[in-house]
Structure 1
């Protein structure tokens, strides 16, 4: 039996996995959606990126999970990638869901669009404000799904986006699956393309947008189950 630790991206909490969790549990596995500090029901808790890494590690250790498949969506691929190496032999596989990946010494805002994010954080009291409904157009989402995401989103703590990642060994050494959502670009970013040259990494494509836990939750669950069996 695998134990899935599920971490959604910026602005979202554990609730984002509500339609994925039942599929995993129905298949006989454990499923543990996690809200990172400073978001959703944990809004107001001070949080940097290393806080988020520790959130993930603490969950695994507190529940004494083994055979862990830890999945990180979007921003959360950065703390998930760091946490995955820190949980050691508890890890079965890490799954990056159309996500950023950690690079030593680099932060989320190191990416090309980072300046816009930094400016937004500075203008919003240290938080990155959630997207508007129109920003979800073209991502394979129904109107009611967009409304649900917008209603549930909370401002994202800026420090988690500006802190640099810390890795003790090359990320390519981890057993990993990268899920590329094709409506959000038909190719992974160059750093992911390089990682996919590792024999430990595999690529899976989904014909949907950047939020597959809403647009195709059953298909996403199937891919997660396949990853656990790899």
Structure 2
């Protein structure tokens, strides 16, 4: 039986190197692909959400078998879009610290766009549980490495069309929020895509919003288990 590959997708401002600590903690031979998304580390400042989706599907299609697609933060929507586009190739979706947007919604229109890109807005919007486990040196390093996200990505429109995505099992990793909170949001209709998903498991991790940076070993164990 061909082993499933892990396809790792970082959220806003991150390139594929954000997963280095997680990948190094995975068992030898465990095939993981940390995707550097177009516009987030490849120098393509005019990249669009469609370009990122093309890169994700290329990683899925390149696998010898099925893929577990892992999305962090905003990229939870990308991971879910991959399940929609390849329901027969994506065996599971792991969502870390985020939720998939619905069809027709903007991908990540959260912060100001300046000169065609959305730069990291500083730490003020993330004070509290999001960044509680990042010390000052870690915050400075993160901000210095943060890649402005092209407007065509941030303001791209999520497209979903295949109802078979709801059959793909989902694991929701809960960092700065608890599984109980997530269940409440889903039950209240705040996350309509997950409310319709047939198999949703919730896993807690004691971290802020970026566990691949602050808890790579624990996150690697969770990914290995799913």
TM range (shorter): 0.7 to 0.9
TM-superposed deviation, 1:133: 4.8
SS of structure 2 residue aligned to 1:18: helix
TM-superposed deviation, 1:87: 2.6
Contact 2:45 2:150 in 1 (8 A): no
Structure-to-structure mapping, 1:62-77, within 5 angstroms: 63-77=62-76
- Per-residue deviation, residues 46-100 of structure 1 (Å, max 9, x unmatched): 2211211111001222x33423111010111112211123233222211011123
Call closer, same or farther: CA 1:162–1:142 in 2, change over 3 Å: same
Name the counterpart of 2:21: 19
Contact 1:172 1:201 in 2 (8 A): no
1:54 aligns with 2:48: no
Name the counterpart of 1:43: 43
TM-superposed deviation, 1:136: 5.0
1:204 aligns with 2:203: yes
TM-superposed deviation, 1:185: 10
SS of structure 2 residue aligned to 1:43: coil
Output the CA distance in 2 between the equivalents of 1:197 and 1:37. Answer: 30
5+ residue gaps, structure 1: none
TM-score if structure 1 supplies the norm length? 0.83
SS of structure 1 residue aligned to 2:141: helix
SS of structure 2 residue aligned to 1:177: strand
1:128 aligns with 2:129: no
Output the CA distance in 2 between the equivalents of 1:70 and 1:137. Answer: 29
Output the CA distance in 2 between the equivalents of 1:100 and 1:106. Answer: 12
Name the counterpart of 1:219: 218
More helix by share: 1
1:87 aligns with 2:86: yes
TM-superposed deviation, 1:132: 2.2
TM-score if structure 2 supplies the norm length? 0.84
Call closer, same or farther: CA 1:155–1:45 in 2, change over 3 Å: closer
Call closer, same or farther: CA 1:136–1:148 in 2, change over 3 Å: farther
Call closer, same or farther: CA 1:148–1:185 in 2, change over 3 Å: farther
SS of structure 2 residue aligned to 1:108: coil
Contact 2:172 2:203 in 1 (8 A): yes
How many residue pairs align between the two structures?
215
Contact 1:176 1:202 in 2 (8 A): yes
1:28 aligns with 2:29: yes
Name the counterpart of 1:177: 171
